[in-house]
Structure 1
Amino acid sequence: MSIKGKFITIEGMDGAGKSTQIQFMKRYLEDKGYKVLITREPGGTIIGEKTRAVILDNKHKEMDSRTEALLYAASRAQHVSQIIIPALQRGEVVLCDRYVDSSMVYQGKGRDLGYKPIKMINDFATQGLEPDLTVLLDIDPTLSLQRIIARGEGDRLEGEKIQFHVAVHNAYMDLAKMYPNRIKVVNANGKIEDIRIEVEKLLKNIFKGESIYEATNSYCSR
């Protein structure tokens, strides 16, 4: 497929500050003249949002881990096809709150399904589309759980025990070692402003030496 834009994902445990930082990222890039689209997973489309509601509903305690993984992949397939690829083909910068890495850590490791089957179904779902950059906000799992509790009743995944969240954290660190060129780790235990500065350094690097015209008009094959 012919892609003009940039695809950037933001990952991390719940409570890491992804929603806050992705807004800073959007503002930074728009100030530089880029057209930016923010989206999220699961969700991003009508089909995806309905799937999200099913996945995260606390009532569905009986959901099998494989069902969960396949629902995420189904939502992602629609999202990539309907929203992400068209935006990239238009030359936009797409900022996505969670992507395949979330399935790798939450279902692959947290649910103990393994990385290989999760990667396989998501390669199919995404048509092989990979991010140009993944910003991984690294937060201590205990702090993550404290923030989840502080903001009230969490969803079905947020309500898991600390052991689950520790496994997810460790899996994120594993992925960062597996894909060091794509996944960049940012310490998210500190102040919001300090995190913003570190994230902006990563954005500067990915667009380094590239004019707005080049970023939106040079084609590359994925």
Structure 2
Amino acid sequence: MSQFIVIEGLEGAGKSTVQRHVVDWLDARGIAVMTTREPGGTPLAERMRALVKEVHDEPLTMEAELLLMYAARVQLVKTRIQPALAMGTWVVGDRHDLSSLAYQGGGRGIDLGLIRQIKAAVLGDFGPDLTLYLDIDPAVGLQRARARGPLDRIEREQLGFFERTRACYLELVRGDPRCELLDAGRSEAEVKAAVLDCLERRLCIPG
């Protein structure tokens, strides 16, 4: 049965790299796989991503930010992720619902109960089968993000925002058996080894 695997983490945690490792691992086992990212992943959702990520003349309220995230997420889930899973294709996503709980909940301070109500109203009980959370010190992650190039609107937030986001991530991940916490502060080779070990333990697919 196809599964939905999600990579989560702060800026600079290495989500894109880990996503490639997961895809390569599945490819080597002959599994059809599709990748996505959030916000985004469809033409319409990518436009919503731009509204969230880019700096505009008009400030974006935290409530509007949250609703745009879910609008983009619903568009992606309904038009790409669920149809792919129904066809037997595995999906490996860069971010999903946990990001909204951590960033808009932990970081912005929006009530987690309200966020969960929105999620339940628009997506029901749909969610990842496995989430790999890449934990990293926010200061280290932001340093890596700056080395990549110009920062987007969210990446320009103060360090305290990311510290609150990380604290929320950790609390949520530690309470969810579908999540695996990985130390993203280690070398790329060490992180890759930890990811592959997790996939071997969690998915039990012959190589």
What's the TM-score once normalised by structure 1's chain length?
Answer: 0.89
1:128 alignment partner, one of 125, 130, 140: 125
Aligned to 2:15: 18
Deviation at 1:105, TM superposition (A): 0.5
Aligned partners of 1:76 and 1:125 also within 8 Å: no
Residue 181 (structure 2) pairs with residue 198 (structure 1):
no
The CA distance in 2 between the partners of 1:59 and 1:158, in whole Å, is 15
The CA distance in 2 between the partners of 1:144 and 1:207, in whole Å, is 28
Tell me the amino acid that sits aligned with residue 182 of structure 2: V
Deviation at 1:61, TM superposition (A): 5.7
The CA distance in 2 between the partners of 1:89 and 1:55, in whole Å, is 30
The CA distance in 1 between the partners of 2:33 and 2:108, in whole Å, is 34
Aligned partners of 2:29 and 2:206 also within 8 Å: no
Change (3 A) 1:169 1:61: farther
Residue 182 (structure 2) pairs with residue 186 (structure 1):
yes
Aligned to 1:31: 28
Deviation at 1:206, TM superposition (A): 2.5
The CA distance in 1 between the partners of 2:16 and 2:50, in whole Å, is 19
**Uncovered stretches (5+) of structure 1, i.e. residues with no partner:** 213-222
2:87 alignment partner, one of 86, 90, 103: 90
**Uncovered stretches (5+) of structure 2, i.e. residues with no partner:** none
Aligned partners of 2:14 and 2:134 also within 8 Å: yes
2:107 alignment partner, one of 102, 110, 123: 110
Tell me the amino acid that sits aligned with residue 94 of structure 2: D
Deviations 1:131-185 (CA, angstroms, capped at 9, x unpaired): 1100000111110111122223211110000000111111110111221x11110
Aligned partners of 1:54 and 1:60 also within 8 Å: no
Aligned partners of 1:43 and 1:49 also within 8 Å: yes
Deviation at 1:77, TM superposition (A): 0.5
Deviation at 1:124, TM superposition (A): 2.5
The CA distance in 1 between the partners of 2:46 and 2:125, in whole Å, is 22
What's the TM-score once normalised by structure 2's chain length?
Answer: 0.96
Identity of aligned residues (%): 36
